[in-house]
Structure 1
Amino acid sequence: MRIPASLTRIIGIANVVVVTVAIVGLSLLPSENRPHAKPKDVAEVQSSPAPPTLTPVGQPPGVVATPEFARQVHANEDGLVPVLMYHRILSHPIASIDRTPAQLRKELETLARQGYVPITAREFATGDIRVPAGRFPVVLTFDDGHPSQFALDASGNPAPDTAVGVIQEVAGRHPSFRPVATFWINREPFGLWDKESQKAAVHWLVDHGYEVANHTWSHSNLRAIKRKRVREQIVRLERLLKKLGAPSSKTMALPYGSVPRAKKEARSGSWDGTRYDFAGVFLAGAEPSFSPYAKNFDRGAIQRIQSNGKKGECRKWCSQYWLEWLHKHPGERYVSDGDPDRISIPEKLRGNIVAKRGLQVIAY
């Protein structure tokens, strides 16, 4: 990896720390609060037209990239992508992994000003990255389906200060900031008990371009249970998603970032006659992800970054640190060529790309 060696040597330890802190923080919560226990901003690319105002589910039209154009926009589709991990959005945080609406709003505003464009985890894992030329993809992910992440008000709009309410608000001020995210849910999505309310929530999100996908039925530690139970946990949630009208999951987030003893069980398998097959399985930390086009991209263990400031265990491993690091090391960041049918990279990185993607590679 192109991150400095001093960082990579302890990345495994950092990942364990992030997961451990999350587990400890959640274990200290009252039972009713536990999830189902149950530099400068990026300048616009002057050579290409500004992207149009995006509809809630829309993606920008592509361009046809050439080596000259890729060089002009400094395209690097082998670069690192921040996949940000959020949990509850609370005005008065209880655990260290909670964020306030103000903190979420500030982080999204920073992303928008710096030129990041949100895509879903599904789009990222499948390599369907449609971001305007010269811009950078970011994946916003929310675990556990907590009520603070999404609720509809009396008018049928996202409630203010929920995660979706803040995303829509920021996108309203920054038209190129596409309002999408991924919500990995458990058996009681967004704290809703009755199926009609669950359906209404899932339908709103899916209809507006958000991804709703698998975080297991009861938020089990998949490493601590038998293989058959791992498959059951995943399939039962898939069946719920189908009942609620969501597409079959192409991504899954591991509860606590805990990988099953048989790692392949997390990506594909079957239980009671129902199969699942994910394009990407996501961990709980603690660094940016490789590009999905890169040879060293592991679909069964995709890294995420906990959203948090530079303090305590987050001095080096959470979102403020990494977003500042990527801003100071622009050559390491994924930069889009605006063309979803081509992968544009500097010539020196040509050997890093998977040759079987079926997309044309432009090396300049």
Structure 2
Amino acid sequence: MRSTPGLTHVIGIVNIGVMIVAVVALLVLPLGHDGANVEHAAKPAPKTAPPALPEVPAPPPVTATAESARNVGANEAGMVPVLMYHRIMKKRLASIDRTPSQLRGELEKLAKDGYVPITAAEFVAGAIDIPAGAHPVVLTFDDGHPSHFALGTDGMPKKDTVVQIIYDVASRHPGFRPVATFWINANPFGLRDTARQAAAVGWLVEHGFEVANHTFGHPDLYRLTKKKIAESIVRQQRLLERLGAPRSATFALPYGSRPKKRSNARDGKWDGTSYHFDAVFLAGAEPAISPYAKDFDRYNVPRIQSNGKKGECRKWCSQYWLEWLRKHPDRRYTSDGDPSHVSIPSRFRGKILAKLDGVLITY
């Protein structure tokens, strides 16, 4: 199954364009020695209990049938937007930056259109447990920028950080699950102090966010030897382990740049430590296909840059694709509400993995 006829063959070209833009963006602000913005002399977060965050109850148990799947227009062979963000800044300094109001506006539109966030790890595992009639969306944030997460003196996420904005939207839209994936480098969220790094990672993991490997120094993997690729990934893997993060099931390519031997991005070994990722994510430029589809390539998962429709984004970034999916509801992933079954219109039966025949519902 292909998401849109005639578009897949140009993904590589668009990836290169997105990669170049990302390089420029990363050079705009002064960076630390390892490629991360640095926060100096940060005060430790208070140990008092913070105010309660909005909670989203789990979807009620549903046993899907052909009739119930038809009633909600279930199509679990459909397309899933995996959105890619970088810095969130009040004043944008590069095309891939977004402002807090732009991020909030996009999340509000997603919530109103019936999208429910899941993590990248949940997506590639096919662990999509959302209400019947809802659509999954994967929110991904690269580089562990300070604008992504920080706690205020009240122990709550700081205003206009990514996590605060996600919770703000979730508080107004019941069912909008407050989760996302953060692919981080060294000095996550601009923190140098190990204790604060561990506290930040621990907070996010405890609250259902995915924190995973984006290499230690954010190099262009295409330019590196196999050994240097493995070193950059393993060094970050060891850091994540020290900070208490779970094993990284997913990996996002810095700049969207693939190694000359693509398998080096998912498997390797350095200094006695090996690594393996269940999925590798690119930097653009169309929706991903369902993880239940025969053609799903877990080691080349496309993402959509969050942006408007100007210039190279005219037909490649989030505003275009979210409008396209709204106009083509039969092409997007719509849940049957039952994570133990896969429901699809009968015309898509040949697109689904054969191993799922025992749990497949067609109508």
- Fold equivalence (TM over 0.5): yes
> Is the 8 Å Cα contact of residues 96 and 307 (structure 2) preserved in structure 1?
yes
Residue matched to 2:10: 10
- Report the Cα offset of residue 7 of structure 1: 3.6
Question: How far apart, CA to CA, are the structure 1 residues paired with 2:111 and 2:349?
Answer: 29
Question: How far apart, CA to CA, are the structure 2 residues paired with 1:274 and 1:359?
Answer: 39
Write the deviation string for residues 293-324 of structure 1: whole angstroms up to 9, x where unpaired.
Answer: 11111111100000000111111100000000
1:145–1:346 Cα change, 3 Å: same
Amino acid at match of 2:117: P
Which stretch of structure 1 is more off in the superposition, 255-264 or 269-278?
269-278
Describe how 1:81-96 pairs up with structure 2 within 5 A.
Answer: 81-96=80-95
Write the deviation string for residues 104-149 of structure 1: whole angstroms up to 9, x where unpaired.
Answer: 0000000000000000001001110111100000000000000011
Amino acid at match of 2:286: E
Residue matched to 1:194: 193
- Report the Cα offset of residue 36 of structure 1: 1.2
Residue matched to 2:126: 127
Question: How far apart, CA to CA, are the structure 2 residues paired with 1:337 and 1:129?
Answer: 10
Write the deviation string for residues 30-53 of structure 1: whole angstroms up to 9, x where unpaired.
Answer: 433898168xxxxxxxxxxxxxxx
SS at match of 1:32: coil
Gapped regions of structure 1 (runs ≥ 5) = 39-53
> Is the 8 Å Cα contact of residues 62 and 340 (structure 1) preserved in structure 2?
no
> Is the 8 Å Cα contact of residues 144 and 185 (structure 1) preserved in structure 2?
yes
Residue matched to 2:43: none
Equivalences, count: 348
Question: How far apart, CA to CA, are the structure 1 residues paired with 2:77 and 2:209?
Answer: 25
CA RMSD of aligned residues (A): 1.9
Write the deviation string for residues 46-102 of structure 1: whole angstroms up to 9, x where unpaired.
Answer: xxxxxxxx9648642431111111111111011000000000000011111000000
Residue matched to 2:295: 296
> Is the 8 Å Cα contact of residues 56 and 176 (structure 2) preserved in structure 1?
no
Which stretch of structure 1 is more off in the superposition, 199-208 or 61-70?
61-70
Question: How far apart, CA to CA, are the structure 2 residues paired with 1:246 and 1:340?
Answer: 26
SS at match of 1:99: coil
Question: How far apart, CA to CA, are the structure 2 residues paired with 1:241 and 1:37?
Answer: 15
SS at match of 2:196: helix
Residue matched to 1:352: 351
Residue matched to 1:256: 255
- Report the Cα offset of residue 274 of structure 1: 2.2
Write the deviation string for residues 208-243 of structure 1: whole angstroms up to 9, x where unpaired.
Answer: 100000100110111110101111111111111111
Question: How far apart, CA to CA, are the structure 2 residues paired with 1:359 and 1:339?
Answer: 14
Which stretch of structure 1 is more off in the superposition, 253-262 or 272-281?
272-281
TM-score (norm 2): 0.91
Residue matched to 1:19: 19
1:334–1:275 Cα change, 3 Å: same
Gapped regions of structure 2 (runs ≥ 5) = 38-52
Residue matched to 1:79: 78
Which stretch of structure 1 is more off in the superposition, 64-73 or 112-121?
64-73
Write the deviation string for residues 137-189 of structure 1: whole angstroms up to 9, x where unpaired.
Answer: 00000000000110000011100100111001000001110000000000110
> Is the 8 Å Cα contact of residues 14 and 286 (structure 1) preserved in structure 2?
yes
SS at match of 2:31: helix
Describe how 1:159-174 pairs up with structure 2 within 5 A.
Answer: 159-174=158-173
> Is the 8 Å Cα contact of residues 57 and 207 (structure 1) preserved in structure 2?
no
1:277–1:266 Cα change, 3 Å: same
Residue 259 of structure 2 corresponds to residue 235 of structure 1: no
Question: How far apart, CA to CA, are the structure 1 residues paired with 2:103 and 2:93?
Answer: 16
Describe how 1:1-364 pairs up with structure 2 within 5 A.
Answer: 3-27=3-27, 29-32=28-31, 36=35, 56=55, 59-357=58-356, 360-364=359-363
Question: How far apart, CA to CA, are the structure 2 residues paired with 1:200 and 1:265?
Answer: 31
SS at match of 1:31: coil
Question: How far apart, CA to CA, are the structure 2 residues paired with 1:159 and 1:72?
Answer: 42
- Report the Cα offset of residue 3 of structure 1: 4.7
- Report the Cα offset of residue 14 of structure 1: 2.1
Write the deviation string for residues 318-342 of structure 1: whole angstroms up to 9, x where unpaired.
Answer: 0000000000000100000111111
1:135–1:35 Cα change, 3 Å: farther
SS at match of 1:98: coil
Amino acid at match of 1:199: A
Amino acid at match of 1:167: I
Question: How far apart, CA to CA, are the structure 2 residues paired with 1:146 and 1:114?
Answer: 28
SS at match of 1:159: coil
SS at match of 1:118: strand
Which stretch of structure 1 is more off in the superposition, 11-20 or 181-190?
11-20
Question: How far apart, CA to CA, are the structure 2 residues paired with 1:357 and 1:276?
Answer: 29
TM-score (norm 1): 0.91
Amino acid at match of 2:164: G
1:210–1:58 Cα change, 3 Å: farther
